[in-house]
Amino acid sequence: MIKYSDFDPSKKAFIFELDQVLIPERDYLLQVYYLFANFLEYTETVPLSAELVEFMKKAYDNQGKQLIFEKSKEVYGFDEKYAVNFARLHREAKLPLPLLLNEGMLDLLQAIVVDRKLVFIATAGDPVQQLNKIRQTEWNGLEHYLKVYFTDELKPKPAPDILLEILNKYQLQAKDVVLVGAGQEDQVFASNAEIDFVSV
């Protein structure tokens, strides 16, 4: 678990990815699957929502989020037309439960804010979907201190354009900033902007 004391105290700004760093993407997607399965059962009466949710959950845990709709359609035989509903829920779902921060992230963010450092989210993916996640995350008041950027509005990761824009807008030097991310792509993303990287 990352703690604020682990960071160089000279850093002036912290940039976070959203998925797998601040929140578990799985928590969002499983609620999307739940909403879709209930919609489908209400509309078509079959399959039973509980059965479809369990199938989607296992498919996600075993093989990831790719082709979940296609795999489910193949097994349960529902109409391709529901792909539109599935995609819309990914972008606009009103979740039954709020998303919770990953373990340790609330304490880390609070410590950064108390020390009067800047906090950014620079997140990849569909901006509408990512904003939907952010709006339904329980931030415990920290939302007022977050500055949010969507990498795909300029150039997708690992192109550093959004990081360079943050540096320029807030008159920061690369040495003043650290990117907190997950995986090789985030590491390259930080390296391309010549800023430090810490992996969760």
Strands 118-123 and 196-199: unpaired
Confidence of residue 1 (pLDDT cuts 50, 70, 90): confident
Residue 36 to residues 19, 49, 197, Cα–Cα distance (Å): 21, 8, 37
CATH number listed for the domain at residues 4-24+99-199: 3.40.50.1000
State how far the Cα of 200 lies from the Cα of 189, in Å rounded to an integer: 15
Answering whether pTM is above 0.85, one says yes
CB 41 within 8 A of CB 145: no
Report pLDDT digits (tens) over 119-162. 999 999 999 999 999 999 999 999 999 999 999 999 999 999 99
Terminal alpha carbon distance of the chain: 7
**Domain boundaries, given as residue ranges, for the chain:** 4-24+99-199, 26-92
pLDDT tens-digit map of 179-196: 999 999 999 999 999 999
